[in-house]
Amino acid sequence: MSKVKKFFGWTNIKWFIKEMVKLYSGDKSYFSKKRVESGVAFLIGQIGMIFFLVKKYESLSMSDFIMWATLEFALAGYLVNQIQREKKINSEENENPTD
């Protein structure tokens, strides 16, 4: 019988938990604390927005829906902009290290 490797195996779950613990312990972690926290905040916001849309779907006017969509795209654009800015700053620091 051959073992089939699964992504969500116990080894990967243990690794993920250890990395999350390292995130808040001060040890070097595979994940970025800022990105994890902003990702969780974004996910909570998205769930809230979708819940609002589902509950208020019957009573939303077209202008309400357009405002909702505008807010969604503005938030997504802001997050992409922040990530790109962070990548640019990090690459500039790696090119020009200061002693």
Helix extents (H) in 1-99: 10-25, 33-56, 62-95
- Within a domain: 37: yes
**Domain count across the chain:** 1
Maximum pairwise Cα distance, the chain: 61
- Within a domain: 44: yes
Quote the domain boundaries for residue 55: 10-95
- Within a domain: 1: no
Sorting pLDDT into bands at 50, 70 and 90, what band is 71? Answer: confident
Tokens standing for residue 2:
């051959």
Q: pLDDT digits over 26-68, tens only?
A: 788 887 777 777 778 778 878 887 887 788 778 878 888 788 7
Amino acid (1-letter code) at residue 90: N
Which of helix, strand or coil describes residue 84?
A: helix
- Within a domain: 27: yes
- Within a domain: 3: no
Beta strands (DSSP E) in the chain are none
The reply to whether the predicted model has a pTM over 0.85 is no
